[in-house]
Chains A and B, each alone.
Chain A
């Protein structure tokens, strides 16, 4: 077991997979010589050379389009979108080509591609470097979406994603890069895409979260336990395919559900969780399943007080949880 930062875990997974499989190619803006704007790909250019670690022009549509071509020709591309905020020019490539090709080709072609996307707020990144994009992409059939919250999951899920025969959107939270450290199992260990993890068992309500919010929800659970409220915290880890079994079993235990995400509330991923619970766990509910999310404003604000207002924090998550429990 080695203790690594979240960012190191991603780096290690890339390095290991590139070592194990020479088809694996890393490409993106500044991923090569610079080693990535966050340093995630630091050293890979030196180790694997410019043919396998490719600096691209600033054109996300092209990055994904080229990766699609690589995959069609037997390579395993791992493109990086420098900030999630800039993925949208590639939306058409992802939606219409990458995610759809297996269906369109009647299973003749797949697209083995992992799109790494640094995302999320709380980093003083303002309107163009803080946004959440998962709701747009989790909506697309044919695309898997994973959101690790711990270094071990960051490494294990990235290795699983690279080996997956189908496209995976890999969301890595920028604030977690240097904030969290954790034990990582030695050796070639993957974390399967799909299963959620119960990070803290509890009896009074289930809090569902992912990414940075898992951490905030766990802190909120500590606050709640001072009041005698035992919250179960479920880290979804994979948004699609969703681990409905774990979600529904948790609600069956606690009878109450709170979903937390930093993405805007309206039409956010939380709505999918709530709808699933309402449809499939109705008879277990003792309170309305509830969301606590980022507000419906067009971006994470820059000014610090406003950014703090935007981002769910443990105090406010605990407050929302108390309201659900006392319903």
Chain B
């Protein structure tokens, strides 16, 4: 009897996947763990290894189609079970669709190595007995549990996470059930994607046309809408004289590249200064929760990278523990993986603070939206040569505006400006150690 292969769950709050390319065709032999199909999610592309050995029977979901996690995508004839009811047919039963919280435990591909990277918490950690009971008592569906950000070890959803979620759900007065405007047969749109119904406009008329949302575009739309909806944003900015850094960098960047093999960008200097400021002002590296402000100990620094049709935020882990060169190298590696579509789920997980560098596109005033649920986002604008008053004279200096959008529930303008001021001071008083970029 053929066994179903299901669309894996490829990360937290990833509910669906798109078939990129079938790497095996019906009738072909497949070894266990051999790459079977390329799956595209809103965040990453992964090759899904076959959970079983056997012969690919039929493909149920064609290339380019998007289905919800858990949807059967192919049938495989397992080795040794070619004849129905053959003795010893003890193939592991695929995860059965159930109801209630239990379903979340038996995630597709769970424990079978079908998921690359961290693959979301369902693959590694389990729900505690209490969380399971709370989910049952409050009729939390599996997809809903998936949307809860876990603060426990390895992203485990804890009791407090569930209670916080229930609390915020109650206060919003909306139950993110299936989106009411999702047409039947679109289970992938249910759940957290559009927690608030989005008005469906009238059908296009005349020469208008609807451009379908890519998975990435849809994820960005959801994130941005949620950030704007839930976080009361406030803004501040400072003008920073980066002449010293720009000159030092121009003088030495070729040598640095020859020595370290990496282009040490201005951004690397800004990130270095910002991580120190985050250490000094822990509130900026936090998340607002109904129970209080969750101060994040680790500084995982996300950096927005433009990719075709959107934006992705790879994360420099423990950025405060890296040198300028180390940061530059990590940015380089993450950005090139991002552009090649080869980011692993872990590369984009766990960010606690974000930098957006609209300056590379020439922006001189950026007012970004916070990367939900973080406390703030830093923006760097273009470095522009400006006439600046220095003492009693006017000088031409390399000026850059650095701005902060912040969650006004967590802290106020005074602290925001202190934070920005500390970054500015470090950059303006830049005193490198010899010809190295470190400061």
With a cutoff of 8 Å between Cβ atoms, the chain B residues found around residue A286 in the complex are 128-131, 158-159
**What are 13 sample pairs from A and B whose C-beta atoms fall under 8 A apart?**
A228-B292, A255-B130, A282-B129, A283-B133, A284-B130, A286-B129, A286-B131, A286-B159, A287-B128, A326-B152, A327-B152, A327-B156, A327-B158
User: Is A255 in contact with B152, judged by CB distance below 8 angstroms?
Assistant: no
A271 within 8 A of B: no
Shortest C-beta distance, A205 to chain B (Å), equals 11
Among residues of A, the one whose C-beta sits closest to the C-beta of B127 is A286
Contact mask B131-160 → A, CB, 8 Å, 1/0? 101000000000000000000110010110
Q: Report the bound CA distance from A327 to B129 in whole Å.
A: 13
Shortest C-beta distance, A174 to chain B (Å), equals 39
Q: Is the interface of B mostly helix, strand, loop or mixed?
A: helix
Contact mask A283-311 → B, CB, 8 Å, 1/0? 11111000000000000000000000000
Among residues of A, the one whose C-beta sits closest to the C-beta of B134 is A286
With a cutoff of 8 Å between Cβ atoms, the chain A residues found around residue B153 in the complex are 326-327
User: Is B158 in contact with A283, judged by CB distance below 8 angstroms?
Assistant: no
Q: Report the bound CA distance from A255 to B129 in whole Å.
A: 10
With a cutoff of 8 Å between Cβ atoms, the chain B residues found around residue A283 in the complex are 129-130, 133
The B-contacting residues of A in range 240-286, CB under 8 angstroms, are 255, 282-286
The A-contacting residues of B in range 239-296, CB under 8 angstroms, are 292
Q: Report the bound CA distance from A286 to B127 in whole Å.
A: 8
With a cutoff of 8 Å between Cβ atoms, the chain B residues found around residue A282 in the complex are 129
With a cutoff of 8 Å between Cβ atoms, the chain A residues found around residue B130 in the complex are 255, 283-286
Given contacts A283-B133, A285-B128, A327-B156, 17 further A-B pairs with CB under 8 A are A228-B292, A255-B130, A255-B159, A282-B129, A283-B130, A284-B129, A286-B128, A286-B130, A286-B131, A286-B158, A286-B159, A287-B128, A326-B152, A326-B153, A327-B152, A327-B153, A327-B158
With a cutoff of 8 Å between Cβ atoms, the chain B residues found around residue A284 in the complex are 129-130, 133
Instruction: Identify which of B130, B152, B153, B156 gathers the most chain A CB atoms within 10 Å of its CB.
Output: B130
With a cutoff of 8 Å between Cβ atoms, the chain B residues found around residue A287 in the complex are 128, 158
Residues of A in contact with B (beta carbons under 8 Å apart): 228, 255, 282-287, 326-327
Q: Report the bound CA distance from A286 to B152 in whole Å.
A: 10
Chain B interface residue count, CB cutoff 8 Å, equals: 11
Instruction: Identify which of A255, A283, A286, A287 gathers the most chain B CB atoms within 10 Å of its CB.
Output: A286
What are the 10 closest A-B residue pairs judged by CB atoms, nearest first? A286-B159, A286-B130, A286-B128, A283-B133, A285-B129, A282-B129, A283-B129, A255-B130, A255-B159, A327-B153
With a cutoff of 8 Å between Cβ atoms, the chain A residues found around residue B133 in the complex are 283-284
Shortest C-beta distance, A308 to chain B (Å), equals 28
Residues of B in contact with A (beta carbons under 8 Å apart): 128-131, 133, 152-153, 156, 158-159, 292
With a cutoff of 8 Å between Cβ atoms, the chain B residues found around residue A255 in the complex are 130, 159
With a cutoff of 8 Å between Cβ atoms, the chain A residues found around residue B159 in the complex are 255, 286
Q: Report the bound CA distance from A149 to B159 in whole Å.
A: 32
Shortest C-beta distance, B410 to chain A (Å), equals 16
Q: Report the bound CA distance from A287 to B153 in whole Å.
A: 10
Q: Report the bound CA distance from A12 to B128 in whole Å.
A: 49
Q: Report the bound CA distance from A283 to B159 in whole Å.
A: 12
With a cutoff of 8 Å between Cβ atoms, the chain A residues found around residue B129 in the complex are 282-286
With a cutoff of 8 Å between Cβ atoms, the chain B residues found around residue A228 in the complex are 292
Q: Report the bound CA distance from A287 to B131 in whole Å.
A: 10
Shortest C-beta distance, B289 to chain A (Å), equals 12
Among residues of B, the one whose C-beta sits closest to the C-beta of A251 is B130
With a cutoff of 8 Å between Cβ atoms, the chain B residues found around residue A327 in the complex are 152-153, 156, 158
Q: Report the bound CA distance from A326 to B156 in whole Å.
A: 10
Q: Report the bound CA distance from A285 to B152 in whole Å.
A: 14
Among residues of A, the one whose C-beta sits closest to the C-beta of B292 is A228
Q: Report the bound CA distance from A283 to B131 in whole Å.
A: 9
Among residues of A, the one whose C-beta sits closest to the C-beta of B162 is A286
Shortest C-beta distance, A249 to chain B (Å), equals 15
With a cutoff of 8 Å between Cβ atoms, the chain B residues found around residue A285 in the complex are 128-130
Q: Report the bound CA distance from A282 to B131 in whole Å.
A: 11
With a cutoff of 8 Å between Cβ atoms, the chain A residues found around residue B152 in the complex are 326-327
Q: Report the bound CA distance from A283 to B130 in whole Å.
A: 5
With a cutoff of 8 Å between Cβ atoms, the chain A residues found around residue B156 in the complex are 327
Among residues of A, the one whose C-beta sits closest to the C-beta of B153 is A327
Among residues of A, the one whose C-beta sits closest to the C-beta of B131 is A286
Shortest C-beta distance, B167 to chain A (Å), equals 15
Shortest C-beta distance, B156 to chain A (Å), equals 7
Q: Report the bound CA distance from A75 to B104 in whole Å.
A: 65
Q: Report the bound CA distance from A327 to B159 in whole Å.
A: 10
Shortest C-beta distance, B297 to chain A (Å), equals 10
Shortest C-beta distance, B233 to chain A (Å), equals 27
Shortest C-beta distance, B136 to chain A (Å), equals 10
With a cutoff of 8 Å between Cβ atoms, the chain A residues found around residue B158 in the complex are 286-287, 327
With a cutoff of 8 Å between Cβ atoms, the chain A residues found around residue B128 in the complex are 285-287
Q: Report the bound CA distance from A255 to B160 in whole Å.
A: 10
Shortest C-beta distance, A79 to chain B (Å), equals 45
Q: Report the bound CA distance from A284 to B130 in whole Å.
A: 5
Shortest C-beta distance, A283 to chain B (Å), equals 5
Shortest C-beta distance, A226 to chain B (Å), equals 13
Instruction: Identify which of B152, B153, B159 gathers the most chain A CB atoms within 10 Å of its CB.
Output: B159
Q: Report the bound CA distance from A287 to B130 in whole Å.
A: 9
Shortest C-beta distance, B149 to chain A (Å), equals 15
Shortest C-beta distance, A24 to chain B (Å), equals 49
Q: Report the bound CA distance from A326 to B155 in whole Å.
A: 10
Shortest C-beta distance, A225 to chain B (Å), equals 14
Shortest C-beta distance, A173 to chain B (Å), equals 34
Q: Report the bound CA distance from A175 to B21 in whole Å.
A: 71
Q: Report the bound CA distance from A286 to B128 in whole Å.
A: 5
Among residues of A, the one whose C-beta sits closest to the C-beta of B130 is A286
Q: Report the bound CA distance from A219 to B174 in whole Å.
A: 44
Shortest C-beta distance, A318 to chain B (Å), equals 16
Shortest C-beta distance, A195 to chain B (Å), equals 26
Q: Report the bound CA distance from A322 to B131 in whole Å.
A: 19
Q: Report the bound CA distance from A4 to B156 in whole Å.
A: 49
Shortest C-beta distance, B101 to chain A (Å), equals 12
With a cutoff of 8 Å between Cβ atoms, the chain A residues found around residue B292 in the complex are 228
Instruction: Identify which of B129, B131, B156 gathers the most chain A CB atoms within 10 Å of its CB.
Output: B129
Among residues of A, the one whose C-beta sits closest to the C-beta of B133 is A283
Shortest C-beta distance, A255 to chain B (Å), equals 5
Among residues of B, the one whose C-beta sits closest to the C-beta of A278 is B129
Q: Report the bound CA distance from A124 to B158 in whole Å.
A: 42
